[in-house]
Amino acid sequence: MCGEPNQCSLSNPATATHACWCFTTEIAPEARERIPADAQDKACICPRCARGELPEKP
């Protein structure tokens, strides 16, 4: 969503056998609302976005 690294263990071949951090983390409702409908349950999300924080502006 924001373009920052999402720290997904599944997308890294070295850690792909481990469960991703997001499997055990509650995703903030406002974060879920920002995920486009066609990306729901498909797109990765970074920890900052998962907490419902907006991305930092450069």
pLDDT on residue 26: 93
Q: In this prediction, what percent of the chain has a pLDDT beyond 90? A: 55
Helix (H, G, I), strand (E, B) or coil at 44: coil
At 48, the pLDDT band (50, 70, 90 cuts) reads very high
> 1 is written with which tokens?
């969503």
pLDDT digits (tens, 9 = 90+) for 11-29: 899 999 999 999 999 999 9
- Report the distance separating Cα 47 and Cα 44, nearest Å: 10
- Contact indicator for 38, 44 with CB cutoff of 8 Å: no
